[in-house]
Structure 1
Amino acid sequence: MEKTYHILVVDDHKDIRDLLQRFLCQHGLRVSTAADGEQLYQRMEKEHFDLLILDLMLPGKDGITLCREIRSQSHIPIIMLTALGEDIDRIIGLEVGADDYVPKPFNPRELLARIKSVLRRYFAIPNVDEQLSTSPIHYEFAHWHLNATTRELKDPSDTLVTLTSTEFTLLVAFLSHPHVVLSRDDLLRLVQGRGADVYDRAIDTLISRLRKKIEQDPKQPKLIKTIWGGGYQFSCEVSHG
């Protein structure tokens, strides 16, 4: 990574904060730490961060609550850490806007790989073929507008709709391939990157999240249609430039 990215590690265990700070700094990242939500917000008011590593179990406001609050006002990538490893906890983390999820105990090298993967998705727009360097800057669909440079999505009433980095990447993939059936494998490679620990339910959760933001009736979607046995299809005309 050419840029020195600034990471904020939020965990109430000092040994974990110190371990991650040392390890990530050794691998070219700039790292700050916070012990709870209060310190997190104090840090974010004073400094710019490129990614948050957020523990699920925190004193005061827990990680789920903090993730939901931050996502309501910011696109910043978020990786959740937790000692809980059940699928339901992963799904909850994704539903409130986390970009990835790493259960404790974890190998710091795995976390580093996840960080790099999330940063690549956020700062360089991939597609299903893992390249979208020739993608247009602006997309128009069903009176919606997406600026791929600023990552701003506006609905037909010109209201700004916040997207997570994975939601943004997923939407760009659909807009770049209108009327094309994209399999779950295609979409999983897109949102998780090569070699990541992915599972089928993750993509369904992400699709559900995106539908809630762009569909008039998410239960009867007209834009992102489910193709039984095939995957998903963006069934709308798209203009771009």
Structure 2
Amino acid sequence: MKETISILGCGWLGLPLGAFLTGKGFGVKGSVTRPERFEELRTEGILPFRIVLDPEVSGDDVSGFLESDILIVDIPPVRRDDIESYHLEQFASLLRVVRASSVKRVLFISSTSVYPPLDRAVKEDDAADPVSPSGRALLAVEELLRSDGAIQTTVLRFCGLIGYDRDPSRFLSKMSSLANAAQPVNLVHRDDCIRIVHEVIRQRAWGEVFNACSPGHPSRGDYYAKAAARSGKPLPPLSGEAGAVPFKIVDSSRLERALGYRFRVPDPLDLPEAP
């Protein structure tokens, strides 16, 4: 019998992820903060719940939502002055109710913002001293979850999410120039994100930390030039020499080896058409 999965945060990634997992035969529960979205979840075969972390966990049926085998958490840090302490408080509150539930395995969607720009490829052990408050908040939450003895947590560090309505061409008309055009990009398509999550669950790869980033790293200039050619929009003037600002290249080879995973979109220059 397939396991039951709860997805905390059914947004741009969480909703299609839930739909994909229901198609694979899992029972899926999903959370949103507004009941007006319940029907959207039901249409995809997802049992909807209203769950809020502010920072304490509240909702109409928190215990019912957590009557599951696996919890997937996909809620980014909220932009606020106390982002680091607030995000940690959210997850401390969440952990208290998770410990009292049937959930024993957690998949936490993190970000490659936990890496500083080291002017080289970064791997999972390079997460230290993030430069952004959101990166520091995520790294603290990763450590909180992974140190908890009551659950097994796998962390997926996604880089910039692309695909479908997140097409780079929509930004072109807002740009007067394209800065840092020589910098490499770190991007991953939503289709790959969804399938990587499924592979972690299918292969029971718990207690792990994986980068998840397409292996192709074109320059920002090439990436937006391709978007301009595809959309017919003009490309703004480019600026920035190679190495002018710090950079990082996110290495996902550990994920590829451990899961035997091959990216569906290995090069961000080759975005597939929307279905």
Bucket of the pairwise TM-score, normalised by the shorter protein: 0.3 to 0.5
State which structure, 1 or 2, has the greater radius of gyration over its C-alpha atoms. 2
Give the TM-score normalised by the residue count of structure 1: 0.41
